[in-house]
Amino acid sequence: MLDVSPEEADDLLCRGWRHFGPGWFRPLCTVCQACLSVRIDVDDFVPSRSQRRAQRCARNLRTEIGRPIIDEARLGLFHTWQRERVESRGGAPAQLSKQDYFMRFAFPADVAREVAYYDVEADDRLVMIAICDETPQAWSAVFCFYDPAYARISPGIANILRLVDIARATSRRFVYLGYLVSACQSLSYKAAFHTQELLVGLPSDQETPRWVRRPPSIG
**What's the pLDDT tens digit per position in 35-94?**
889 999 999 999 999 999 999 999 999 999 999 999 999 999 999 999 988 776 666 667
Pairing status of strand 138-146 against strand 174-180: parallel
Phi-psi domain of 178 (left: phi exceeds 0; alpha: psi -120 through 50; beta: other): left
In the DSSP assignment, the letter for residue 215 is P
Q: Would you kindly state where each structural domain of the chain is located, as residue ranges? A: 6-214
CA–CA gap between residue 141 and residue 94 (Å, rounded): 24
Architecture of domain 6-214: 3-Layer(aba) Sandwich (3.40)
Instruction: Kindly report, residue by residue over 145-175, the tens digit of the pLDDT.
Output: 999 999 999 999 999 999 999 999 999 999 9
**DSSP readout, 130-193?**
EEEEE-SSEEEEEEEEE-GGGGGG-HHHHHHHHHHHHHHHTT--EEEEEEE-TT-HHHHGGGGS
